[in-house]
Each structure stands twice: as C-alpha cells, then as structure tokens.
Chains A and B, each alone.
Chain A
Amino acid sequence: MASSTVVELSRWQFAITAIFHMTFPALTVGLSVLLAVVYTAYVRTGNPLYLQIFRFWKKIFAVGFGLGVVAGTVMTFEFGLNWGTYAHAVGPVIGVTIGMEVITAFFLEAGFIGLMLYGDGRIRPRTMALASWMVAFGTLLSTTWILSANSWMQDPVGYRKTDGQFHATDWADILLNPAFAHRFPHMLLAVLISAAWFVGGISAWYLVKNRVHAQPMARRCLSIALGVLGVLMPIQLYVGDGTAVFMGQHQLPKLEAFEGNWKSDNNGYNLLVVPDTDKGENLLHVEVPYLGSVIAQDLSGKTTTPGLLQTPPDERPNMWTTFYGFRAMYFTALLMFGTAFAGVVLRLRRRLFDSPRFLKWMVWMTPAGIIAVTGGWIVAETGRQPWVVYGQLRTADAVSHLSAPEVATTLAGFVLLYVTLLAVWARYIVRTVKAGPEALPTGPASPDVSEALVA
C-alpha cells in the first residue's frame, strides 16, 4: 500500500490546487452575472455608463475566468492522477456528475465566452447580451453540479457498494442529496457575495481617491454591490446556520472540531483555541460564556456543545484546520454583515457616497468574500477527514501507486507556478484598477442614443 508520505503530499497538492482554483470562481461567477446585467441595461437604455462598466469589469473577468478554467482542468485530472483508487471507486457516481457539469455547464461558458469577450464591435449588441447571459447561466449551473458532487461525498446516499466500487441505485437521491439542499444555496450566495465585496471595494477605492473619470461608474457599482449585500447577507447567515446544524446531525465530528471543544461540557463559545491533539485537550482557549448555548437556540444558556472526545481517535478530523477555517469564515461573515448593515443605514441617511471612513473600510473589505469562501471550504474538506467519502472510503486508502519524490516534485511545481500566478493576477488587477475605466467623453447626451440602439 502507498506510504503515508504519498498520502500527505497528495493531500497538500489537492488542497493547494483546490484553494487556488476556488479563488477564481468565487469572483467570476458573480462578475459574470454583473456583466450580463449591465450589458442588458446598456442595450435597453443606451446609457453609455453601462457600457463603460461592462468594458472595465470585463478586463478583470477575462483573466480571472481563464485562470479559473485552467486551474479547474488540473483538478479534473488530479482525481485520477493522485487518487486512482478513489477514482475507481467513485467514478460511477462522481465521475458522471462531473461529466454532466462539463457537458452542460462548462461547454456553455466556454462556448460563449469568446463571443462575450471578443465580440464587442464585431457582433450585434443583442447577441452580446445573449452571450453574456449564457456565460452567467453556465457559471451558475457549474456551481450546482460541483456542489452536488461534493455534497454527495459529505453525505453519500443512493448507492450500493460492490467490490469496493459505488454503484448508483437512485440518481435523483444522488444528485439532490440532503447535504446538497443546504450546501448549494450556501455556496451560491457565497460566490455572489464575494463578487459583490470585490466590486464594492474597488468602487469605493475610486471614490476614496476621488478619481473624477471613474466617479459615475464607481457610484453605480458601489450602489449595486451594497444593494446586493444588504439583501443577501441576512439570508446567507440564515442558510449558513442551517448548514452548520445539518452538519451537526450528519457529520458530528466536523461540528465538534469546528467548535473547538474536547469535552462535551462547554456552554460558551470559543473565540480562540490552541488544541493539543495528542492529549485531547486545549492548551488555551478564550470563550464567551453562554454564547454557545444561545447559538444552539437555547436562550437559557444551559445547552452544551459536543466535544471531539466523543469520536474515536482514528475518526477525528484535525481541530486546527477545521476550527480556524470556520472562524475565518464566520468572523469575516460577521464583519460583512455589519458592513452591509451600515451600508443600508448610510443609504437611508443619503451618505453612502460621501462617508470617507466607511468607503475606506469598504476598500479593506475587498477580499472579505474570498477569505470566507476559502475558510468555509477548509472546514468542509478537512472536517470530513479522515474520510474522503464520509463514513465509506478513507482518504489514506484512496491514493494512487506513486512514489513520494514524484509527488513532491509536482507539488513543488504547482506551488511555484501558483504563487507566480497569484502575483501576476494581483499585479494585473492593481494595474487595471489604477489605469481606471475608459474615459467617458462629457457633454449633453444626444437624445437619439437609445433609439439608435433599439433600431
């Protein structure tokens, strides 16, 4: 059997490639919706502002989408490269789901993205709008399939095991599995929210810097972003809470680990823990008393949170990654909620575009969504360990017959490549943002603009 080094290295490789991949869809799914909306607004109203917005965000979207695609390609093959046994076992289930993702969603995006990105000035505006919507629809559909596949691994149903291979018995159960019902809306909202922070943060930067040419665009985008956030943040907290409760029922060790308790006698809420995994205790923990019970819907403060000692040692996830992944997501979510709340208040007080402190804070919130999404996936994936298919297939048994130096080489290659790519990507964003949108010529708008476009 494969050595534990190969398992560890393969896990690191998968984790790094997955996190890297995830940062792009976290932006591009929401951006594709924004682009489709503003282009449609442009076609309908003829207002050049919407075309300016489209052309500006298109530049950032194009490179992000391309990087997301190539990073996703890597993952498609990694299932077989590093996890051959897993691939053989779940191919009849997960392989089919991901196959459907590729044929229905991925091809849709890829088929229309060329039109959307390079069609401006070559094809009719209505066709451009259609292509933009198709890309947006494709990214949303892609999210749906992927969440279905991953949720099945979190809570497998609808299968029969034959010779170590999962055979599908009920496709409706598999695709619409119980975990999917919670995790799909949670993820869908998460990607829309992440893109909204990104757009809002960059727009706020233009307002802070008082870039005259970018002001109308920045105000328009900030208004859209904070509008979306005001509506979605309360819903997301509610859906997220539901997902955590569901995990508590179906994957108790994950909840035990992300709440950071060993013994099951704590009615407080841990803000910070330093766990000692071997001894099964926390060397240090900072908690808010009674809050754990309140979050568990017991306002009297008596309910305690289950601890990890309930779970046999060989079925425990790592508390470090699970706890801090959850805290990264949750604390960022609270900041996001507060900021969105402040945005609604400021809008009501007519101060949205003229509150320097709030706008500066918005700039800091630019990556908030991506941080939360990453944290959330770390909880979902490391909290499921030591299983790759929960309760059915252990990660250690899923790996390919490879040698440690082989995996170490490719891991180093990916780290080097991805660090470079992140640097190039960040630099590209900074440059594009600093260059600003295309200048809008000023002057009285000719009254026939909209008619010309309709014709």
Chain B
Amino acid sequence: MLEYAAYALVLFSIGMYVVLDGYDLGVGMLSLAAGPERRREYGEIVATAWDANESWIILAGVVLWAGLPGAYSVVLPAVYLPLIGMLIAVILRGLGLEMHSAAGGYRRGWALLFGGASLAAAVCQGLVLGAVLSGPRQRGGIFTGGAFDWLTPYSALCALGLVVVYLLAGAAWLQDKTEGWSRPRARRAGRSLLAATAVVAVVLGLLLPGADPQETHLDEPVRAVLFWLAVAVAVAAGAVAWSGFGRAPDWRPFAAVATLITSGLLGLAVLTVPVVVPPGLTVHQVASPHSSQLFLVLGVGLSMPFVLAYNVYAWRSFRGKYTDPVEQALPPLRAVPRAVPAAPADSGTARTVLRRVLLVVLGILATALSQDVFGGVSEWIGPLGVAVLAAAALAAWIAGDRRDLRDGCFDVDAGAESTS
C-alpha cells in the first residue's frame, strides 16, 4: 500500500506545480501580449511567488526518484531533449524575471525573455506529458528507445493543450491580482480560453486510446464511476469559471480553474492507475523497497503540513491586488567627525623588519598548528591550539569592533562629508 502513498505524493506535487507554476507561466505568456507598463506589473506579480511555485516540480522529480525509481529511470532518458529544453527555459524564465525586477536598463529585453521562456517551458512540459502518455519504449525497466521518440502528433497536441490551460490559469490569476483588466476584456479573454481548453481536452481525450498503447479499462465499474465523477466536477468548475470571468468576486475564476485542472489530473490518474509508465509498468514494479517508502512517506508527509502552512502564510502576505511596494527612504545616520588614527611613529627600519619577520614566523606557526602538524607530538595540541587561536581572533574582533564603534568608524564621517 505504501507505494500508492508515494504515487499519491508524486501526483499531489505535480498537481500543485501545474496549478501554481501554471499561472506563473500563463502570466508570463500573457505578458508577451501586454504593453510595457503592464508587462512590468505582470513580472512583479510572478516574482513574489515563482521560487515557491517552482519548488513543486523539484519535489515531484525527487519523490518520483525516491519512491518510484523504476519510473524515474525510464521516463527521464525517454524525454531527454524536451526535459532539458524545459530546464533551460525555466532558467531563462527565472533570469528574465529577476533581471527585469532587479536590473536598471534593458527592461524590454528581459521582459521578452521572461515571456518567451515561459512559452517554451509550457511547450516542453506538454511534449513530456505527451511522450509519457504514448509510452516510452523500454525493456526490463531500462529505456531502449531513440532520441526523438517523444516527438509525435499526440505530444505536439499535448503541448498545445498545456499552453492553453496555462493561459487560462494566467488569465484567471490576473483577474484576481490586477486592476488592469477591464471586466468585459477579462470576460472575453477568459471565456475564449475556456472554450479552447474544452475543445483541446475533448480532442486529447478522444485520441488518447489511439496514442496510449495500454488498454483503458472504463468497463470496470469503480473506475468508470470515479472517472466520470472527475469529468463532471471539471465541467462544473468550467461552468463556474465561465460565469465568474469579468465579474466579482475576483478570486472565483482562479479557484474554479484550479479545481478544473485538479479534477482533470485526477481523471487521468483514475484512468491509468496502477500503471505509471504505459504500457504496463505498474506502481508495484517501479516502487523502491519498503524501508525507503516508509522513510519517504513519513518524512515528506510530516513536513507537508508545515510546508503548506507557511506557503499559505507567504501567499496571504501578498494577497489581494498587486500594489507597488512603498520602500521608505533610509532615516538619517549619525554624523560625527572620525579621527583617522595617526600612522604609527616610524620606529626605525631594523625594528620594522624584526616585527615583520616575527609576525611571519608567528603566522607560519599558526598555520602549522591549525593543520594539526604537532598532533604527532601530542594529540591535544591540535584542538586546543585551534580553540586558542579562534578565541583570540574572536576577542580581537569584539574589542576592536567596540573601539571602532566609539571612534565613529560606523557613522557618517562629518569631516569627509564637508570636504568632499
């Protein structure tokens, strides 16, 4: 049973990723069609959350590795090129976003990179999904296919589908987060994306039996009931989103879209379980041994409430409409004239040389002591000597710091200010 817990964790992480980073990528793609001012705002909306949202795909990856290593080691080589494409796109998305937000000039270039990389990442993820659904060639749990096996009409269609779904999530998120979209526009954009999602979902669903080499067992009653239940929930959520776009409350479309995506994913899982990698690699075959399952499920399961709690906390801190931060100017710092310590009196060349030679010898001795060279003489010399050295440095730091504070080293130098 434990392997189903690991499987559920993978599904949960993928679901969280698709819902959360889905809107990030959607907002990114929508920013390509927006004006410069909106573009900046879109970037800032994503900037506060993308780190946390992107974490879910990393979690999905590692839980798949730890819990179902048989699936991880077959699927990843099978989608080598699109997955690396996605990783590179995600890097460029992060770069565009952070530089857009932090750098001075080149706003336009960074913003376009952010949008373009979001699109590329969505396309690559769709290709990966399509390739997995079409069933990678494998023998004995080892991938044996070719470099371009992932490129099929079905996977291309999946890429299109995922782009549309992400755009839908992005549009719903923007209605929640910005004042910018006029209501009629939000309704038009949201509804047409919703219609497109419905069309793609139906087409992909009908083509699935042809692409997927495994038999779907909709004749089993439990499976059929659960599947059609998921479809019904998705349709209902779609209807709520349809009426919610362009109408208060602004959070409703996103909640509905998130429900729609989740039920779609669950429907797919119901259809395929217990097969993880079609055709025929089941949860039982790919799972890691019991000791690892137990540790993973306990560790991740116990941490999850905390993770969700502080994610919700962070999300609540930025809830509501996006506003520009009001960074207060720094308050004034004390200005005092700083007395530059006079250069030590010239104590004669001989004494200076002697002092320097002594210091060098002392330094070499300290180095040798730290490396435990004298440990051969007696074992306690090393640890004790290092403790003495570190304590002496600490004492010098504290004493020096206090003295510098008194001397005004850490205040604005009133003397320098007036002369400059």
Contacts and interface: CB of A to CB of B under 8 A. Distances in A.
A88 B313 CA distance: 37
Nearest to A411: B84
A428 B102 contact: yes
B249 interface: no
Interface string B303-318: 1100100110110011
B66 A73 contact: no
Contacts, number: 397
A264 interface: no
* B303, B372, B393, B412: most-surrounded residue (chain A CB, <10 A): B393
Given A74-B91, A80-B76, A403-B147, A442 B66 contact: no
Interface stretch (A247-255, A308-316, A342-350, A365-373): A342-350
In the A-B complex, the 10 residue pairs with the smallest Cβ-Cβ separation, listed nearest first, are A91-B69, A95-B66, A297-B376, A230-B393, A80-B76, A227-B397, A237-B370, A92-B292, A95-B65, A400-B77
Interface in B52-68: 52, 54-55, 57-59, 61-63, 65-67
Given A73-B90, A238-B386, A299-B373, A215 B413 contact: yes
Interface in A330-373: 334, 337-338, 340-342, 344-345, 347-354
A299 B65 contact: no
Contacts of B383: 238
Contacts of A238: 370-372, 382-383, 386
Contacts of A112: 310, 314
Nearest to A52: B330
Given A74-B87, A87-B72, A401-B77, 15 more contacts: A49-B410, A55-B330, A91-B288, A107-B303, A112-B314, A167-B292, A168-B292, A212-B413, A230-B396, A341-B366, A354-B340, A414-B88, A439-B330, A445-B332, A445-B333
Interface string B276-318: 0000000000001101100110011001100100110110011
Interface string A296-320: 1111000000000000000000000
Contacts of B389: 234
Q: Interface on chain B toward A: helix, strand, loop, or mixed SS?
A: helix
Contacts of B73: 80, 84-85, 87-88, 91, 400
B330 A48 contact: yes
B326 interface: yes
Contacts of B348: none
B51 A119 contact: no
A347 B400 contact: yes
A152 B400 CA distance: 43
Contacts of B41: none
10 contacts: A66-B98, A70-B94, A98-B66, A99-B59, A111-B313, A113-B52, A127-B317, A167-B289, A230-B397, A353-B404
B323 to A, nearest CB: 8
Interface string A43-79: 0000111011001000100110111011111101101
Given A110-B51, A122-B317, A406-B147, A99 B300 contact: yes
A186 to B, nearest CB: 13
A109 to B, nearest CB: 8
Contacts of A134: 310
Interface of A: 47-49, 51-52, 55, 59, 62-63, 65-67, 69-74, 76-77, 79-82, 84-85, 87-88, 91-93, 95-96, 98-104, 106-115, 118-123, 127, 134, 162, 165, 167-169, 171, 212, 215-216, 219-220, 223, 226-227, 230-235, 237-238, 240-242, 294-299, 334, 337-338, 340-342, 344-345, 347-354, 400-403, 405-406, 409-410, 413-414, 417, 421, 424, 428, 431, 435, 438-446, 449
A420 B321 CA distance: 35
A73 B91 CA distance: 9
A441 B330 contact: yes
Given A297-B372, A431-B104, A216 B333 contact: yes
A96 B333 contact: no
B92 to A, nearest CB: 8
B8 interface: no
Contact of B326 (A55, A121, A439, A443): A121
B142 interface: yes
B129 interface: no
Candidate in A108, A215, A238 with the most chain B CB atoms within 10 angstroms: A238
B344 interface: yes
Nearest to A303: B376
B327 interface: yes
B333 A442 contact: yes
Contacts of B410: 49, 216, 219-220, 223
Nearest to B401: A223
Interface in B361-386: 363, 366-377, 382-383, 386
B2 interface: no
Nearest to B398: A227
B88 A100 contact: no
